[in-house]
């Protein structure tokens, strides 16, 4: 970590980058937030640990319009998103100096709370230099120890691997976190009766408060004009009050990002209602893999995405499983 900060200082001081896009300390140890650092002094606030789950690639859309080069810190999974954004002409490659940083799995406060921990005031053991085996959680009711693995975000259990798809330089060690198959839950749902499927999804989707957080955080959801932009309020970020958009939001959004979603897991991470949004995206990914050949968005910029492509002998819709 010290080594990373010195390197960032060096980049800023030498003038080779104008700013750093990373994470700064939050109010607690467990809520750092994305931030720009314009000078070496500002780096005193810098942090990178197990709670830095936010994917910074989307921030590079705006940063691409800023003066000079931005040094951006990307975890292995974030680099898929960055590649996809290059492909969609939403970021300018030359405006980014990509520091591919290691990752030992990112943590979820909800996963920690789900282990029966309440009143959290501090968490130790998420430092990137540590061994990331155990977390010491200080609470209003005393100290508790939980396993790092059980406290990870869902997406880290199904990690695509710790290899960076694009970078200018690499820093910090990674650790393997993959211990599940990402399509297991999709398969379980596929095997339900249509009534049970509906009951399941209706229950999940009824929790949605249409805050638009999932759309706003999604690197694939970076259209200049979004179908869900509000036409009725001054703020486009507000949800539209159209019953159609209300009830079909999740399907429409998932379809819009089909073939472009890298499965970065940000939507599920930010949903304040804990809706497993990745189940929609992964259904499309699974179908695409099965029907049109294995495809990973953001892996290879040169590859045509499956929905802007076809073959003469594609299967018919009626032949779907």
One of 8, 112, 257, 279 touching ligand SF4 (CB under 6 A): 257
280 binds other proteins (CB under 8 A): yes
**Per CB under 8 A, 292 contacts other proteins:** yes
Q: Name which of 106, 98, 147, 138 is nearest 120 in CA terms.
A: 138
Question: Given candidates 129, 154, 287, 299, which one binds other proteins under the rule CB under 8 A?
Answer: 287
The crossing angle, in degrees rounded to 10, of helices 243-257 and 278-292 is: 40
DSSP code of 99? E
- Residue 228 touching ligand SF4 (CB under 6 A): yes
Identify the residue among 165, 208, 288, 297 touching ligand SF4 (CB under 6 A): 208
Tell which one of 175, 211, 270, 307 touches other proteins (CB under 8 A). 307
> Does residue number 212 form part of the binding site for ligand SF4 (CB under 6 A)?
yes
Pick from 138, 143, 8: nearest CA to 72: 8
Residue 251 near which of other proteins, ligand SF4, none (CB within 5-8 Å, type-dependent): other proteins
Binding-site size for other proteins (CB under 8 A) equals 48
Closest CB to other proteins among 2 and 194? Answer: 194
CB 177 within 8 A of CB 133: no
Instruction: For residues 117 and 235, give the distance between their C-alpha atoms in angstroms, rounded to a whole number.
Output: 37
54 lies in the site for ligand SF4, by CB under 6 A: no
201 lies in the site for other proteins, by CB under 8 A? yes
CA distance 292 to 308: 12
Name 124's Cβ contacts closer than 8 Å, sequence gap at least 6.
29, 135, 136, 138
87 vs 93: CA distance, rounded Å: 10
Strand, coil or helix: what is 151?
helix
Residue number, 12 or 214, with CB nearest to ligand SF4: 214
d(CA 148, CA 45): 24
Q: Three-class SS of residue 138? A: strand
CB 258, min distance to other proteins, A: 6
The string of DSSP letters for 229-255 reads B-SSSS-TTSBP--HHHHHHHHHHHHH
260 contributes a contact to other proteins by CB under 8 A: no
Least CB distance to ligand SF4 at residue 216 (A): 8
Among the residue ranges 9-17, 20-28, 117-125, 209-217, the one whose residues contact ligand SF4 (CB under 6 A): 209-217
> Which residue lies nearer to other proteins by CB, 140 or 294?
294
Q: Which is nearer to other proteins, 27 or 313 (CB)?
A: 313
The residues, any chain, with a CB within 8 Å of residue 87's CB and separated by 6 or more, are: 298, 301
Tell me which stretch binds ligand SF4 (CB under 6 A): 13-21, 59-67, 271-279, 297-305.
271-279
Q: Does 291 bind other proteins (CB under 8 A)?
A: yes
Distances (CA, A) of 11 to 43, 52, 97: 12, 21, 10
Comparison of 61 and 171: residue with beta carbon closer to ligand SF4: 61
Secondary structure element (H or E) that encloses residue 33, with its range: strand 33-37
Cβ–Cβ under 8 Å, residues 228 and 245: yes
The contact set with ligand SF4 (CB under 6 A) reads 208-215, 221, 223, 226-228, 253, 256-257, 270-273, 275, 277
The residues of the shown chain that bind other proteins, judged by CB under 8 A, are: 189-190, 192, 194-202, 205-206, 208, 227, 243-244, 246-248, 250-252, 254-255, 258, 280, 283-284, 287-288, 291-292, 306-312, 314-318, 320-321
């Amino acid at each position: 970590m010290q080594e990373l900060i010195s390197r960032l200082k060096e980049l800023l001081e030498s003038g080779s980058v104008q700013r750093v896009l990373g994470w700064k300390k939050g109010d607690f140890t467990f809520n750092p937030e994305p931030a720009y650092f314009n000078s070496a002094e500002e780096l005193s606030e810098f942090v990178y640990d197990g709670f830095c789950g936010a994917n910074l690639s989307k921030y590079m859309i705006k940063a691409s319009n800023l003066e000079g080069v931005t040094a951006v810190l990307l975890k292995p999974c974030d680099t898929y998103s960055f590649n996809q954004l290059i492909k969609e002409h939403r970021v300018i490659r030359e405006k980014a100096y990509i520091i591919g940083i290691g990752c030992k799995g990112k943590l979820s406060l909800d996963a920690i709370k789900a282990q029966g921990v309440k009143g959290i005031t501090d968490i130790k053991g998420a430092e990137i230099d540590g061994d990331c085996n155990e977390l010491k959680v200080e609470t209003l009711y005393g100290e508790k120890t939980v396993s790092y693995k059980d406290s990870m975000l869902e997406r880290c259990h199904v990690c695509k691997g710790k290899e960076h798809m694009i970078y200018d330089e690499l820093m910090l060690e990674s650790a393997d976190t993959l211990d599940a198959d990402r399509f297991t839950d999709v398969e379980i749902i596929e095997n339900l009766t249509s009534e049970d499927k509906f009951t399941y999804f209706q229950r999940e989707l009824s929790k949605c408060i249409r805050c638009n957080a999932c759309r706003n955080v999604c690197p694939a959801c970076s259209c200049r004009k979004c179908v869900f932009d509000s036409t009725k309020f001054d703020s486009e970020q507000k949800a539209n009050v159209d019953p159609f958009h209300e009830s079909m939001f999740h399907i429409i959004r998932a379809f819009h990002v089909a073939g472009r979603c890298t499965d970065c897991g940000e939507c599920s991470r930010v949903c304040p209602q804990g809706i497993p949004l990745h189940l929609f995206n992964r259904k499309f990914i699974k179908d695409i893999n099965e029907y049109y050949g294995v495809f990973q968005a953001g892996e290879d910029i040169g590859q045509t995405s499956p929905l802007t492509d076809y073959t003469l002998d594609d299967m018919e819709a009626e032949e779907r499983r």
